[in-house]
A and B are shown apart, each in its own frame.
Chain A
Amino acid sequence: MATWILGVSALYHDAAVALLRDGVVVAAVQEERFSRLKHDAALPVRAARWCMAEAGIGPEDLDWLVFYEKPLRKFERILSTSVATFPRSWASFPRQMHAWLGDKLWLRGNLCSTFGVRPEKVLFCEHHLSHAASAFYGSPHDNAAVLCVDGVGEWATTSLWRGRGHTLEPVGEVRWPHSLGLYYSAITAHLGFMVNEGEFKVMGMAAYGRPRFDPQLAQLLRLEADGAFSVDLDAFRWHWHPTEAAGPRLAELVGPARFPGTPFTPELAPGDASPAQVAESQRHADIAATAQRQVEAAMLHLAHHAKAQVGGDALCLAGGVALNSVANHRLAAQGPFAHLWVHPAPGDAGGALGAAWWVWHQVLGHPRGAVLDRADLGRSTPRARSKDWLDDLGAHPVDVGDEAPERAAADLAAGRVVGWLEGRCEWGPRALGHRSILADPREAQMRDRVNAHVKYREPFRPFAPSVIAAAAGEWFDIPPAAAAPARFMLSTGPVRGDRRESLGAVTHVDGTARVHVVDPETSPAYHRLIAHFGELTGVPAVLNTSFNLKGEPVVATAVDAMATFVRSGLDVLYVDGYRVESR
């Protein structure tokens, strides 16, 4: 009899489930891919239903259901913080309690009734242990230091673990309210972006700036001699204010906050903005650049501590901060570890898989299994169903079957922007060639076209290239330690100097790219597509961005894809071998 474990993360952001059969991932998917609400945090009912249907089991077949954190410990943290920050926390306390008393405190019962399991089957992992497990158990390393850095879980905001065989042992943690993730989010909010969503934009903005606010911001985030960091809690208020992350001090140090939606016109891309507007945008870019550098420095600092405490040559990373691909590159290039491994869904969604692995390996004592070398673990639709949908919507799909990769490559070479949907959707936030918008990477105008007319997003945001593994080193400077993260598009590094000309649409202003290295074994169709594009053009890389419009989750089905296709400036759509042209 197989052992079935369902991991669940929910109720904060990015709800997800992961289903294991004897420790092997059968399916893992975020709820947003079903509910179409980006970062949906609700209990992932639809995702769970789909995963179980895919496996041909029902809730009665589950041996364990594990939630990715300990709710009561989190509640304790909230209560004791409210006391410690009395009376400033008066406005946030009722809100938090309202949410907890209404719902979150009765989690075991809710999980049982929602997912149809009996109470004795329900387990609870710890938030950071879920992250650590997601990073370690999917890695190829038998011995590794495991570092998790995020906003906050129960108490920990950063944690270090020693991974050995099938066990994870805690080494130390940084505790709330000192948080690197929340620090970066506070800067994100100051720069006018939505928290837990705009962090990527800060990273993109940073490339336009210089870290000239270092003296000011170094007062707010300090690297400590013990190898960790601390935050100036007088300047921030995420631990007591209901809505604001930063107090007036931040604005005193770096100037006023940017109003959301203000055009971004820094010195490197001034457009026709006035000198005052350019200066203002440059200030925003410089704030972003400073905070970005600080986070990179903090990650390096933490990594050196991990090396000193745990040793070994491998570092596994998870937690939302591990999505910072620029910091990951620096860790790989300058850090003390020869190997870096990042879980493809390092944010809270990934906790669902981590918690499930933790039960299998650590609680039940099973040895390590296969390496997680692919991210297409999510939702798919039977091909015939997609065809019916496309027919009904009047899309006139043409069956190009197995030739889809070559046809798509030819479309790209002809300057068309392609929507590409193939197989199962990706686990984690990155589109890795299963739900991607693709374009010719050679000319910079293509970037502007895709930003402005396809995805309707900010002109300063860069696009990533996908490159075939065999050619990656020729085109990009990928340090050996970044080889693994680059496969999940989690590392940003320099485009080789002589190649920048040929990759105008995917080279960021600072000469870097968030390169995605495509492996022929685990992504055969996508690899063929890029290789064929290489044969046609001499450039074995394509521009790859997630298949969605601003603010929406990545598409899942043919209907989603059509809705995005019609509303955007895409020229061609591929859905599992069906080709649709825009009219």
Chain B
Amino acid sequence: MGWLRRAWITVASEVAWRIPGRPQRLLHAFSLAERGSMVDVLFAAEATPRRDLRRKYFLHALDEGRHARVFADRVRALGRGDRAEAAVEDSGQLVEAGISGGLTLFERLGEDDFLAFVYVAEADAVEQFGVYLDRGLADPDTALELRTILKDEVFHVSYSRAELERMRKDGKPVDRMVRNRRLRRLWERYLRLTRDIGARVSGVWLTLLYFVALGPFRLVARLERGGWHPVPPRAPDALAAARAEG
């Protein structure tokens, strides 16, 4: 399966780096992803009961934070991309991380699976950045940065692999965990894809609904004028009113 993945990464990268404006988007996405993983790993640094791992997670998080900034700088250096993306980039804001339902990635996975996750994600990154460098896709300045980043990623792979090896000695099913993490990544990508497709399909239906159902009412609806408006008096039963959602 490894060769298939590599072939896919190679083709996708070859295409992406050749479309004008596309490298900026790619680097912007990396920057967001790196910022997200900084947060995920920082949570691990806080939550782990293993005092020896805390420092590793912490250093790892700092690396990701630095990568995020490097990628953002590269976007800026490569020139004007999308205005909205540039505004997000300029604000430095993080858009999403692995928090879901109030639980961090570390809390959801637990230490062992989190380490397997780190290992799989970092190995993928090493592979992807490796393709960019091997095939000379990135511009020279970005390539220079990628080479430095790659060294950090190799550290991330190696400490997580060392932990997995230790777990293997403890008799834990490490291979299965790693395989599950890989499958899980694929599954999540698939889910994202179906969600995007679903959103598009429902978008089409909602657009249809918009033209069919909303259009006829156009003449009766008005925007409010400016200035003060009186406010209708409140219902006397405050508690009953408070229960209402509308």
Contacts and interface: CB of A to CB of B under 8 A. Distances in A.
Contacts of B210: 82, 86, 89-90, 93-94
Interface stretch (B12-20, B150-158, B226-234): B226-234
Interface string A312-328: 00000000000000000
B214 interface: yes
Interface residues on A, range: 35 or more
B101 A45 contact: yes
A552 interface: yes
Nearest to B200: A94
Interface stretch (B117-125, B162-170, B175-183, B237-245): B237-245
Interface stretch (B3-11, B90-98, B129-137): B90-98
B192 to A, nearest CB: 15
Interface residues of B, number: 63
Nearest to B205: A94
Interface string A417-447: 0000000000000000000000000000000
A174 B228 contact: yes
B45 to A, nearest CB: 6
Contacts of B188: none
Given A107-B245, A222-B226, A261-B76, A35 B211 contact: no
B46 interface: yes
A63 B117 CA distance: 41
B231 A173 contact: yes
B245 A393 contact: no
A472 B192 CA distance: 55
Interface string B203-231: 10011001100110110111111111111
Interface in A127-160: 155, 159-160
A21 B65 CA distance: 40
A84 B221 contact: yes
B199 A261 contact: no
B242 A359 contact: yes
A112 interface: no
A28 interface: no
Interface stretch (A279-287, A371-379, A487-495, A557-565): A557-565
Given A83-B214, A93-B214, A261-B86, A38 B94 contact: yes
A259 B244 contact: no
Interface in A146-193: 155, 159-160, 170-178, 189, 192-193
A94 B198 CA distance: 12
A59 interface: no
A213 interface: no
Contact of B55 (A229, A243, A394): A394
A93 B80 CA distance: 30
Interface in A72-114: 72-73, 75-76, 80-87, 89-90, 93-95, 97-98, 107-108, 114
B86 A178 contact: no
A50 to B, nearest CB: 11
B92 A124 contact: no
Nearest to A69: B245
B87 A260 contact: yes
Contact of B242 (A90, A124, A230): A124
B221 A193 contact: no
A569 interface: no
Nearest to B239: A363
B245 A172 contact: no
Contact of B243 (A124, A155, A172, A198): A124
A73 B97 CA distance: 31
B97 A35 contact: yes
B58 A563 contact: yes
A384 B52 CA distance: 18
B223 A243 contact: no
A23 B29 CA distance: 46
A119 to B, nearest CB: 9
Contact of B226 (A46, A89, A230): A230
A573 interface: no
Contacts of A97: 206
B87 A193 contact: yes
A81 B80 CA distance: 34
A504 to B, nearest CB: 27
B104 to A, nearest CB: 8
A525 interface: no
Interface in A302-339: 305
Contacts of B88: 194
Nearest to B230: A172
B86 A98 contact: no
B55 A392 contact: yes
A562 B93 contact: no
Nearest to A113: B101
Contacts of B207: 90, 93-94
A545 B207 CA distance: 47
B218 A194 contact: no
B102 interface: yes
Nearest to B38: A563
A125 interface: yes
Nearest to A129: B234
B171 interface: no
A194 B91 contact: yes
B34 to A, nearest CB: 13
A145 to B, nearest CB: 14
B246 interface: yes
Q: Which of A90, A171, A192, A392 has the most CB of B within 10 A?
A: A392
Interface string A221-252: 01010111111010000010001000000000
Nearest to A457: B92
Given A171-B231, A174-B229, A35 B245 contact: no
A177 B210 CA distance: 20
Contacts of A297: none
Contacts of B95: 37
Nearest to A94: B206
Contact of A193 (B66, B91, B211, B215): B91
Contacts of A35: 39, 97, 99
B58 A87 contact: no
Interface of B: 39, 42-43, 45-46, 51, 54-55, 58, 61-62, 65-66, 76, 80, 83-84, 86-97, 99, 101-102, 199, 202-203, 206-207, 210-211, 214-215, 217-218, 220-231, 234, 238-239, 242-246
16 contacts: A35-B97, A70-B245, A80-B221, A84-B222, A87-B218, A114-B102, A170-B231, A171-B231, A193-B91, A226-B228, A227-B228, A228-B227, A239-B223, A261-B86, A392-B55, A563-B42
Given A193-B87, A228-B227, 8 more contacts: A43-B102, A70-B244, A86-B221, A171-B231, A174-B227, A177-B224, A192-B87, A194-B91
Q: 6 closest A-B pairs (Cβ-Cβ)?
A: A230-B226, A551-B92, A45-B102, A72-B246, A94-B206, A170-B231
